């Protein structure tokens, strides 16, 4: 298999490091690292707590032809810039995998056709401290699905590839998973960007929590208007809650502690449980 990875930021870099470290016999992995190419070529890829790896092939852009899988790990607003030059390098039966946030598959499909596009919803988090230097900041899994029914036959092979980096859950409802993650990003990423607070800081701020719920509710309303069936992308269902949680109707929406008021430990708190309880109760009422 010939694999190309486009974009070596935090997500693409961690994915590349783990795939290169677990490379199979006969498998070729090429990295398109942009301005980071020289540093990665000389110093390799390093994830905190893991052995550094030296990728065999790194360039600013992909080279060669006939890639079986292209993993698109750029920012969503760079899709066209990154993909259009690479689309011609895809093998006739090759697959594009959007390892990104947002709703990238439709834009990728314009370059290669919808039946050749898969999407990987990212359920884990990472940061980059420098070129080729990464830290995994939150564990989780990929949710992998096809952009169109014609691409369903491609999912198994790509799942086997991605599972070498993180667990993979397959879905036939990619849009539902995308919109659920988008609702979370609308609430947490945007508020974090404008406020400068991390997730724990947002959880400790009442105004931020209320704004987060409003953002989630609006995203859910848009998804439902588009007839998207939202899919759970993180957390626990009420059936997996403890008897005490089930009795009081306050099962957490994600796998972290929850309480009526935000806990004082800002480094580990998430706003998600609080938001979920408020949404379930019908807040905000207008």
* Domain-embedded: residue 248: yes
d(CA 44, CA 52): 7
| pLDDT, position 235 | 57
User: For residues 171, 19, 52 and 62, what is the CA-based torsion angle, rounded to 10 degrees?
Assistant: -110
Check residue 255 and give its pLDDT. Answer: 29
Residue 31 has pLDDT above 60, yes or no: yes
The whole-number pLDDT of residue 36 equals: 95
d(CA 67, CA 82): 15
Question: How many structural domains comprise the chain?
Answer: 2
Q: What is the mean pLDDT of the chain?
A: 84
pLDDT digits (tens, 9 = 90+) for 225-241: 999 999 987 655 444 44
Question: 124 and 204, same structural domain?
Answer: no
Domain for residue 200, yes or no?
A: yes
Are 272 and 206 contained in the same domain?
yes
* Residue 135 clears pLDDT 80, i.e. is over it: yes
Q: What is the pLDDT of residue 234?
A: 67
For residue 264, CA distances in Å to 157, 194, 197, 203, 261 come to 44, 22, 14, 9, 9
pLDDT computed for residue 188 by the predictor = 86
The answer to whether the beta carbons of residues 190 and 215 sit under 8 Å apart is: yes
Given the DSSP bridges, would you call strands 168-170 and 142-146 parallel, antiparallel or unpaired?
parallel
Same domain, 246 and 117: no
Instruction: Let me know if residue 62 belongs to a domain.
Output: yes
Please list the alpha-helical segments (H only) found in 97-173: 105-112, 155-162
Any domain includes 286: no
pTM to 2 decimal places = 0.81
Indicate whether 285 belongs to any domain.
no
Task: Using pLDDT thresholds of 50, 70 and 90, give the confidence band for residue 271.
Answer: very low
Per-residue pLDDT reduced to its tens digit, 174-228: 999 999 999 988 888 889 888 888 878 888 999 999 999 999 999 999 999 999 9
Which tens digit of pLDDT belongs to each residue from 152-167? Answer: 999 999 999 999 999 9
> Long-range contacts made by residues 45-50, C-beta under 8 angstroms, separation at least 24?
45/8, 45/13, 45/16, 45/17, 45/20, 45/132, 45/134, 46/17, 46/132, 46/133, 46/134, 47/14, 47/17, 47/18, 47/134, 47/135, 47/136, 48/134, 48/135, 48/136, 50/17, 50/21
As a whole number, mean pLDDT of residues 133-154 equals 95
Task: Return the higher-pLDDT residue of 44 and 279.
Answer: 44
* pLDDT reading at 286 higher than 50: no
Same domain for 18 and 116, yes or no, is: yes
CATH of the domain at 83: 3.40.50.720
* Distance of alpha carbon 167 from alpha carbon 207, whole angstroms: 35
Q: Does one domain contain both 39 and 122?
A: yes
* Residue 114 sits in the same domain as residue 251: no
pLDDT score recorded for residue 250: 35
256 pLDDT more than 80: no
């Amino acid at each position: 298999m010939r694999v190309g990875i486009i974009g070596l930021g935090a997500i693409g870099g961690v994915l590349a490091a783990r795939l290169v470290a677990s490379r199979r016999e006969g498998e070729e992995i090429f990295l398109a690292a942009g301005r980071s190419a020289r540093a990665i070529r000389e110093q390799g890829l390093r994830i905190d707590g893991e052995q550094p790896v030296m990728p065999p092939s790194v360039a600013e852009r992909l080279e060669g032809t006939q890639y079986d899988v292209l993993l698109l790990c750029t920012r969503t607003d760079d899709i066209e810039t990154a993909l259009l030059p690479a689309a011609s390098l895809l093998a006739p039966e090759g697959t594009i995998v959007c390892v990104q946030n947002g709703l990238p598959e439709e834009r990728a499909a314009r370059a290669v056709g919808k039946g050749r596009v898969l999407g990987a919803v990212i359920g884990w988090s990472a940061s980059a401290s420098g070129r080729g230097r990464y830290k995994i900041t939150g564990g989780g899994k990929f949710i992998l699905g096809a952009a169109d029914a014609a691409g369903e036959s491609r999912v198994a092979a790509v799942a086997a590839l991605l599972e070498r980096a993180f667990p993979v859950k397959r879905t036939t409802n990619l849009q539902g998973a995308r919109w659920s993650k988008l609702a979370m990003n609308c609430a947490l990423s945007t508020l974090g960007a404008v406020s400068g607070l991390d997730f724990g800081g947002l959880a400790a701020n009442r105004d931020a929590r209320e704004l987060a719920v409003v953002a989630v509710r609006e995203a859910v309303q848009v998804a439902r208007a588009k007839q998207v069936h939202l899919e759970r992308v993180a957390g626990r269902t009420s059936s997996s809650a403890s008897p005490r949680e089930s009795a009081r109707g306050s099962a957490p929406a994600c796998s972290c502690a929850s309480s009526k008021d935000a806990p004082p430990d800002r480094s580990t708190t998430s706003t998600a449980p609080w938001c979920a309880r408020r949404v379930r109760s019908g807040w905000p009422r207008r």
